[in-house]
Amino acid sequence: MNSRNSKKNTEEKPETNLDGRKAAFIYTEEFAKYPYPAEHPFNTVRAQKVRELIHSMGLLSAENSKEVAPKAATRVELKKYHSARYLHALKTASEGKWDIEALNMGIGSGDCPIFKEMYNYSALACGASLKGAKLIIAGEADIAFNPSGGFHHAFPERAAGFCYLNDVALACLKLTENGKRVLYIDVDVHHGDGVADAFYQRDDVLTISFHENPKVLFPGTGFEDEIGSGDGQGYCVNVPLPAGTYDQAYMHAFNSIAVPLLKSYEPDVIVFELGADALASDPLAHLAITNNTYADIIDILMDLNKPILATGGGGYNVENTVRAWALAWSLFSNKADSYENIGLGGVMLESTDWQGGLRDRALAVTKQQKKAVEPVIEATIEKIKKTIFPIHNI
């Protein structure tokens, strides 16, 4: 779809009443049956723990909130993005039939090991994000959250970065097939390379990825000069952040770059990859933000009065990831004021580290940290303003 010549719909769109927004939490106990290998950093128990926490707080039975069980994506649905050859290799490998061709597709690598249920788990995760997209298209939900999704590193014929099938790319495609202009925003600490590649030459999906400097972190892509090509030139936005980036610096970059773009682009739907591995505690990365930054971003996105399909993503400190996603759901379901400050340490989170509620405590920022972070972020902002903003008439 090429929407450059009809970029904005001049007809006024009905506003959604935020207080009456319908929120759907997409989850099934089937996810708990398909764990990654025990030694693998990716822990599928996170979604289960989020569900348990928000259920215990009454956030699944709140007004205008509901839990929705997904079904696995069908082969026909998966072929919208992945090749038949790749799907066959992935399924047969999960059944114990693995060969060099599969390895060349990333199946059986250190990041993407073979385990019995890897195909079933991945197809179910895709089905959950597609269910969210379908609920939004049908007007049955204004916000859908799939904490078991966010596999943004998978390519049409390649597994990578713990990701076998790309649920977020499939969800974006489903939305565009139904005539929606999509804003894809990715705050996972790793560059959303699979999604960026899927829409690199299209202008009906604007991809914005905030991630740690790709010079030092997987997947090694996502520099400022990767801006899309052809019809998609200027519709791929990458914001690499230096190690040690803290809340205020992160939000300065977000407000300077993402906010003007999302207002100019006027999306019909927002797809939000909410990876929690940018948190200061994450063992696989080097940023220093708290979940208050995620909350601030959600507030901005909610204020746009657009449907939101949110997914999980990275997040390798399980406890802090669970709290971040529970906080996100409390905001999505418009119940944050009632619940975010309730003490949740001790028994509930199996820890005594922090009992201040869903929100993280503020972290001190050193002068050295500011000196290392601020000039780098300012330079990135200026680069993007020069290359991207003129294309959007900003």
Residue with tokens 């903003």: 389
DSSP H helical segments within 237-290, as ranges?
247-253, 259-265
Report the pLDDT averaged over residues 232-238: 98
pTM given for the model: 0.92
190 counts as catalytic? no
113 in Cβ contact with 102 (< 8 Å): no
Q: Kindly give, in sequence order, each residue whose CB lies less than 8 Å from that of residue 298, ignoring residues fewer than 6 positions away.
A: 328, 331, 332
Q: Give the pLDDT confidence score for residue 337 in this predicted structure.
A: 53
Query: Residue 360 belongs to a domain with what CATH number?
Result: 3.40.800.20
**Is residue 367 included in any domain, yes or no?**
yes
- Say how many domains are in the chain: 1
**Is residue 201 included in any domain, yes or no?**
yes
**Is residue 97 included in any domain, yes or no?**
yes
Q: Give the pLDDT confidence score for residue 1 in this predicted structure.
A: 41
Nearest-angstrom CA–CA distance, 379 and 298? 25
Residue with tokens 């904005």: 8
Q: pLDDT tens digits for 344-392? A: 443 344 443 444 589 999 999 999 999 999 999 999 999 999 999 999 9
Catalytic residue among 82, 152, 153, 190: 153
**Is residue 6 included in any domain, yes or no?**
no
Q: Give the pLDDT confidence score for residue 18 in this predicted structure.
A: 53
Tell me the one-letter amino acid at 278: A
Nearest-angstrom CA–CA distance, 18 and 334? 8
Distances (CA, A) of 85 to 98, 101, 102: 13, 10, 10
Mean residue pLDDT of the chain comes to: 91
Nearest-angstrom CA–CA distance, 226 and 217? 16
How many other β-carbons are positioned within 10 Å of the β-carbon of residue 142? 22
Listing from the earlier edge strand, what are the strands of the sheet with 182-186? Answer: 65-68, 23-26, 143-146, 308-311, 269-273, 182-186, 205-212, 236-241
Nearest-angstrom CA–CA distance, 230 and 233? 6
Q: Within its chain, how far is the Cα of 185 from the centroid?
A: 7
Residue 244 has pLDDT above 60, yes or no: yes
Residue 335 has pLDDT above 90, yes or no: no
Binned at pLDDT 50, 70 and 90, residue 336 comes out as low
Q: pLDDT tens digits for 252-301? A: 999 999 999 999 999 999 999 999 999 999 999 999 999 999 999 999 99
Structure tokens at 228: 């899309």
Domain span at residue 309 reads 17-392
Q: pLDDT tens digits for 192-202? A: 999 999 999 99
Nearest-angstrom CA–CA distance, 256 and 36? 38
